[in-house]
Every structure is written in structure tokens, then in C-alpha cells.
Amino acid sequence: DFATIDESHSPSKEYNWGYDPLNYNIPEGSYSTDPFRGEVRILEFKQMIKALKEAGIRVNMDVVYNHTYYTVNSNLNKLVPGYYYRQDCWGNFSNGSGCGNELATERSMVRKLIIDSVRYWAREYKIDGFRFDLMGLIDIPTINEIRMALNEIDTSIMMYGEGWTGGSSPLPDHLKSLKCNVRQLPGTGVFNDDLRDGLRGHVFHAGDPGFASGGPGREESVKFGIVGAGYHDQVDYQRVAYSKGPWAAEPAQSINYAEAHDNLTLWDKLQASCPGADEETLIAMHKLCGALVLTFQGIPFLHGGMEFLRTKYGDHNSYQSPDEVNWMDWERKYRYREVFEYYRGLIALRKAHPAFRMGTADEIRHHLRFLPTAPGLVAYMLRDHANGDPWETIVVIFNADSQERKVSLPGHDWVVVVDGHRAGSDMLRQFEGDIVSVPSRSALVLVDGASYRASYSC
């Protein structure tokens, strides 16, 4: 339930994403047909969830248990003054959220409030997953107890969040649910910002290019994402963007993404970091990012509309921006149909082939080997029917260079299933030889011919 939206105005001119929580256990009324009757928002929310599930769509909810909109005048502070919020050494409310306060999640009744709330949403509304805003402000024991509570309901319920804070906090670092502590959070994932900025450039410097836009020295950050943020002997961790070592115990703890609701969309970022580039070049870079994210080990994350080059017209913080900025421009789906089909083909490839979805870091270390490449290229091989895949050997190559480049292959008989224009599991063409040319700003996925033909003869 949002604090800054006046639900009595319909339609309301105010807009907010909802990072201004007032009440945790009730849907926001401005989305309902009648905000004055509490049962209406509850019923309509449940009807929405039911309809989405009937369409085969699981529903994850973004939850903000790190702070509330009000502090001194919040319901929690009125109930037990000073208990629910952290204070600094001078007795002032601490502001690790950047929003004026932070909940003292390590205190028993605050922890119980959060666990009970998450359990309520999962049981009553059948929510399938929870994305925790600024999860670094929530202590590790609380996150783990939430995980255990959800496991009692349904072990398939997802938990993931932002493994960072919005400012300094009196909660000691070793107790924070930070990215660097995720090994202590079994069953919980974090957003891989090392990978994000490796792909597209620094998130707070619009003009900074990433690997896909020709930025130099980003290859190891890309390789870090490919292996799911775990340990791999062929990754030089000292050259990874931020984390100078592996942090994920298992690949499912790495949420791989190039774009989310915060900051510039990928399309806007590419335009800002590549001034003067024509649309064809920008589209090639965008598709390269999509191919990267959707072939990495771990959990791929796509921002809605990314598949048709979503733009917010350069707005990097649109939490209060109008519909004209935040809405889905469906005309772009038709205008950029080729990009949409490319993303759909990549998703189909990933779903059909478990080699791209290995479940353990040990499997990745055994089956995934990087191939020698020059700067601006990254290539790897998935070998020995990885994760039970019908394809014995898969080679994936990313060329971010502005020129066509050649890469040596471990064999001579190949079938191409992904190139810079089309993607999927079907053969695009056959290739014979141990050196392949990869066009500029494109991905290439090849399968050994023998196992490809065998998989289609069964």
C-alpha cells in the first residue's frame, strides 16, 4: 500500500512505483476499481493472480521491507517508539535506504513482522516469488528464516534481491544480505551488477560503454557472468568489474541482466554510450546483449519491453514519471519485430537445452571451457552432453568488435543455430572447418553436427 498516492482521486495524476510503503499487507488501492471498499482491491488482486497463472505466468512481487515512507509518524514507530528502526550512535534514525530510515530487521519482532508478511502473501495471494528491494539492509538470519518459511509452503517460490544498500548502515557488513555474503543465503539469488556493467557500461555514467558496445577490458566480467558468478579456473577475477572473486555458491544465485526498471533502459544506455551510431549498429549491440544474458549459467532476467528495444527517452529514474515514459509502447513490437523474434528464439533455445541451465558450480567447471580469443571476443564450449543435453558439444561465441573476427573451433563438422539475425534450435546452416568467421557485433552458437543430427533422428 503506497503512501504518496491519493487513492481517492480516480484517475489519479500521481504516479509512483511503490517504494514508499505505508502498509505491508494490503494491495495498493489506486489500481482497484473502487479504492473505498477494501474487499474490492483484495478480490481484484486475487483475480489478477488467478488469470495470470491460468495463462501459465508465475507472479513475483517486488517487496520493500528495508524501509517505510514515514519514520517518526509511521504506524510502527507509534506502536513502539524507537524499536522498529535502526539508529546511529547519536540516536538519529539511520538512512541506509536513502529514503529516510531503515527497519531494524535483526530485532525479533521486526523479523517476525517481515516473515509473517511474506508468508501471508504467499499463502493468501499465491505469490510465486519475492524480489527484495535493497536486500543488503536485511540481516542474513532474517532472509534465511524467510526462505525456510516459504519452503514450508512451496520450495519453488523464488527469493532474490538487490545485494547492496542505498547508503551506510549501522548493521555490520558481515550480517548484511549483500552480494558478497550470498553463500550464506542458500536458495536466495542476487542481481549480478558485475555482469550488468560489464555488458553495458557503468550504470551511473551514461557515456561509459560496456562489452557489447565496444568498451575495452570487459571480457572477464562477461566470463564471470557466463559461469554464474561462481569459481572457474579460467576466469581472471582481478579483472571483473567489482567483485574480485566468486560470490555465488551455485549458479541459481546469480540473476543475470542487462536492464531493469532502475536506471537507463539498455536501448537508452546504448544510445548514450555510442553517440553517432546508426540504428542498425545499436540494434546489433542490443541483440548481442540479449544473446549474452540468455546463454549464461544462472537465472536470466529480462525487463519488460526489452525484447522490442524499450525506451524511456533517456529517463534514468522514472519512479514518478508519467505514463508516457513508463508505459509499454506496443508499436515498437511491430516496428522491431526482428528483435522480438530474436529474443523469442533465444528463450526457446534456452528452454530446450539444459546445457544452458546447469544446476551446480561443479557441473559448470566440468562441462564449460573457454576458448582462446582476442580482445573484444569471448567464446566457450559446453562439452560432454552438459546437464544431460542431447547435443554433445555446443560452442558459443560473442564478437563485440566492429570488425569480423575469426575463432578456432574444436572440430570440423558444425551446425549453426544462432547468428546475428536469427536464433533458436533449428539449423540455420551447416559449417565445415575448424576456423569460423564471426560477423561484427554478433553472437554465434554452433552444435557439433553428429549429435545435432542424432537428436533430430530420434
Residue 262 CA to residue 61 CA, distance in Å, equals: 16
Residue finishing a domain among 335, 355, 375: 355
Say if 8 falls within a structural domain: no
Catalytic residue list contains 448: no
Say if 2 falls within a structural domain: no
Q: What is the pLDDT of residues 129-174, one digit of tens each?
A: 999 999 999 999 999 999 999 999 999 999 999 999 999 999 999 9
Residue finishing a domain among 311, 330, 355: 355
Same domain, yes or no: 392 and 271:
no
| Residue 12 confidence class, pLDDT cut points 50, 70, 90 | low
Residue 36: is its pLDDT beyond 80? yes
Same domain, yes or no: 89 and 162:
yes
What's residue 7's pLDDT?
83
Q: What is the pLDDT of residues 53-105, one digit of tens each?
A: 999 999 999 999 999 999 999 999 999 999 999 999 999 999 999 999 999 99
Residue 458 CA to residue 455 CA, distance in Å, equals: 6
Same domain, yes or no: 343 and 385:
no
Exactly one of 28, 162, 392, 419 is catalytic; which is it? 162
Structural domain that includes position 289: 29-355
Q: What is the pLDDT of residues 333-364, one digit of tens each?
A: 999 999 999 999 999 999 999 999 999 999 99
Same domain, yes or no: 202 and 256:
yes
What's residue 322's pLDDT?
87
Exactly one of 28, 133, 219, 259 is catalytic; which is it? 133
Residue 240: is its pLDDT beyond 70? yes
What's residue 8's pLDDT?
77
Same domain, yes or no: 287 and 313:
yes
Residue finishing a domain among 334, 355, 376: 355
What's residue 368's pLDDT?
99
Same domain, yes or no: 291 and 410:
no
* Whole-number percent of the chain with pLDDT over 70: 98
Report how many domains make up the chain.
2
Same domain, yes or no: 350 and 373:
no
Say if 21 falls within a structural domain: no
Q: What is the pLDDT of residues 170-229, one digit of tens each?
A: 999 999 999 999 999 999 999 999 999 999 999 999 999 999 999 999 999 999 999 999
Query: What's the chain look like in SS3?
Result: CECCCCCCCCCCCCCCCCCCECCCCCCCHHHCCCCCCHHHHHHHHHHHHHHHHHCCCCCEEEECCCCCCCCCCCHHHHHCCCCCECECCCCCECCCCCCCCCECCCCHHHHHHHHHHHHHHHHHCCCCEEEECCHHHCEHHHHHHHHHHHHHHCCCCEEEECCCCCCCCCCCHHHECCHHHHHHCCCCEEECHHHHHHHHCCCCCCCCCCHHHCCCCCHHHHHHHHCCCCCCCCCCHHHCCCCCCCCCCCHHHEEECCCCCCCCCHHHHHHHHCCCCCHHHHHHHHHHHHHHHCCCCCEECCCCCHHHCCCCCCCCCHHHCCHHHHCCCCHHHHHCHHHHHHHHHHHHHHHHCHHHHCCCHHHHHHHEEECCCCCCEEEEEECCCHHHCCCCCEEEEEECCCCCEEEECCCCEEEEEECCCCCCCCCCEEEECCEEEECCCEEEEEEEHHHHHHHHHC
Q: What is the CATH number of the domain that holds 269?
A: 3.20.20.80
Residue 11: is its pLDDT beyond 80? no
The count of residues in the chain is: 458
Q: What is the pLDDT of residues 393-426, one digit of tens each?
A: 999 999 999 999 999 999 999 999 999 999 999 9
| Residue 457 confidence class, pLDDT cut points 50, 70, 90 | confident
Say if 340 falls within a structural domain: yes
What's residue 160's pLDDT?
99
Q: What is the CATH number of the domain that holds 381?
A: 2.60.40.1180
Same domain, yes or no: 344 and 246:
yes
* Whole-number percent of the chain with pLDDT over 90: 94
Say if 20 falls within a structural domain: no
What's residue 168's pLDDT?
97
Same domain, yes or no: 246 and 343:
yes
Same domain, yes or no: 221 and 253:
yes
What's residue 15's pLDDT?
74
Given a contact cutoff of 8 angstroms between Cβ atoms, the answer to whether 68 and 76 are in contact is yes
Quote the mean pLDDT of the chain.
Answer: 97
Catalytic residue list contains 341: no
What's residue 276's pLDDT?
94
Say if 73 falls within a structural domain: yes
Residue 10: is its pLDDT beyond 60? no
